[in-house]
């Protein structure tokens, strides 16, 4: 992308600011030890919007992590985008952040000392449009706006990949992108405020149910399944709190197995967590769609990194995905 280098400069500036002050948000008033606190009893975890975070929703609703960590206070918050989690970790308001592969790799390249504790899933990510005028990417004009959760998001990387393949110009739609959380983007798409949304399950499925068409599918763009969101922690915190790191990984594995084995019950939990805004029947349908897999194994890290290096989004990509992870998942069949 044409602005990859300037984005890295902005990232480095943000790192300095985050190191000096805690991020403002739901966790700003949290007490207890922050990241790298070495024995702090608080365990603050960021989740996010969408089906990707189902394992964390199950863990929170069932109290599994609290049971596994007696004496710790487990706190949960919802943030939009990996950069918010990055700032929370560096500012000491989070112990665990969540991020798509794009922001995670961008952070690593910019010097953020975080690694992957566990993946959450593999999921296809889609760019969808509702306006009849837009039947393919070629119909998007300079005036059309496309939502993405944040600059450098995994959705933005997917769109760049598709633009590179179709137009030999990965940065073709960079100026079209506007940052929006997925729920806001869906409403903006349905109301005609934006031309397309680079989004994620279940929002892409809900858009299609309202008549939208799929312009880009990430599994097609990258040649197969890949990871979406990961849970990350700072290296110092992991070194000082291996029991907490392992407990989270084990419970994500438990939740992934639970969702896979009993999607009906998992769907009920998700519906209850959303106060019925999405029915259990709808959630069960989404959980069992083709290409949806809940897993702790990071997949696609190397492929996304190589492409982000190719387009100048990061300076260099690791050849071995294990360079980005903790021992919790280093022995799993990742990529």
Q: How far is CA 117 from the centre of its chain?
A: 14
Q: How far apart are CA 88 and CA 73, in angstroms?
A: 17
pTM of the shown model: 0.87
pLDDT at 27: 32
What pLDDT was estimated at residue 69? 97
Q: Which domains does the chain have, with CATH numbers?
A: 4-122+226-330 (3.40.190.10), 126-221 (3.40.190.10)
List the chain pLDDT tens, one digit each, 335 residues: 333 323 333 333 333 333 333 333 333 333 334 433 344 589 999 999 899 999 999 999 999 999 999 999 999 999 988 999 999 999 999 999 999 999 999 999 999 999 999 999 999 999 999 999 999 999 999 999 999 998 889 999 999 999 999 999 999 999 999 999 999 999 999 999 999 999 999 999 999 999 999 999 999 999 999 999 999 999 999 999 999 999 999 999 999 999 999 999 999 999 999 887 889 999 999 999 999 999 999 999 999 999 999 999 999 999 999 999 999 999 999 99
Q: Report the DSSP beta bridge partners of residue 295.
A: none
pLDDT for residue 276: 73
> pLDDT value at position 277?
83
The values of phi and psi at residue 53, to 5°, are: -95, 10
The answer to whether the beta carbons of residues 131 and 195 sit under 8 Å apart is: yes
d(CA 31, CA 43): 10
Position 148 scores a pLDDT of 95
């Amino acid at each position: 992308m044409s602005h990859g280098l300037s984005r890295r400069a902005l990232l480095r500036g943000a790192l300095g600011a985050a190191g000096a002050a805690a991020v403002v948000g739901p966790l700003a008033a949290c007490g207890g030890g922050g990241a790298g606190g070495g024995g702090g009893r608080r365990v603050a975890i960021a989740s996010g919007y969408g089906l990707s975070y189902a394992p964390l929703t199950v863990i929170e609703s069932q109290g599994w992590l609290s049971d596994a960590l007696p004496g710790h206070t487990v706190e949960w918050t919802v943030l939009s985008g990996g950069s918010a989690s990055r700032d929370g970790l560096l500012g000491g308001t989070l112990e665990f952040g969540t991020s798509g592969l794009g922001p995670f790799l961008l952070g690593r390249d910019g010097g953020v000392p975080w690694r992957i504790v566990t993946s959450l899933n593999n999921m296809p990510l889609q760019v969808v449009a509702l306006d009849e005028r837009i039947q393919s990417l070629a119909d998007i004009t300079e005036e059309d706006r496309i939502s993405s959760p944040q600059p450098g998001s995994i959705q933005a990387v997917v769109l760049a990949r598709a633009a590179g393949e179709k137009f030999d110009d990965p940065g073709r739609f960079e100026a079209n992108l506007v940052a929006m959380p997925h729920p806001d983007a869906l409403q903006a798409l349905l109301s005609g405020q934006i031309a397309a949304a680079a989004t994620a399950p279940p929002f892409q499925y809900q858009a299609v149910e309202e008549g939208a068409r799929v312009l880009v599918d990430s599994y097609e763009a990258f040649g197969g399944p890949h990871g979406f969101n990961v849970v990350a922690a700072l290296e110092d915190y992991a070194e000082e709190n291996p029991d907490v790191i392992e407990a989270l990984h084990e419970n994500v594995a438990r939740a992934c197995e639970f969702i896979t084995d009993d999607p009906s019950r998992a769907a009920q939990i998700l519906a209850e967590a959303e106060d019925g805004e999405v029915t259990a029947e709808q959630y069960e349908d989404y959980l069992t769609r083709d290409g949806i897999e809940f897993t702790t194994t990071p997949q696609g890290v190397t492929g996304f990194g190589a492409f982000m290096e190719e387009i100048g989004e990061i300076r260099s990509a690791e050849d071995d995905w294990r360079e980005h992870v903790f021992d919790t998942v280093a022995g799993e069949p990742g990529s």
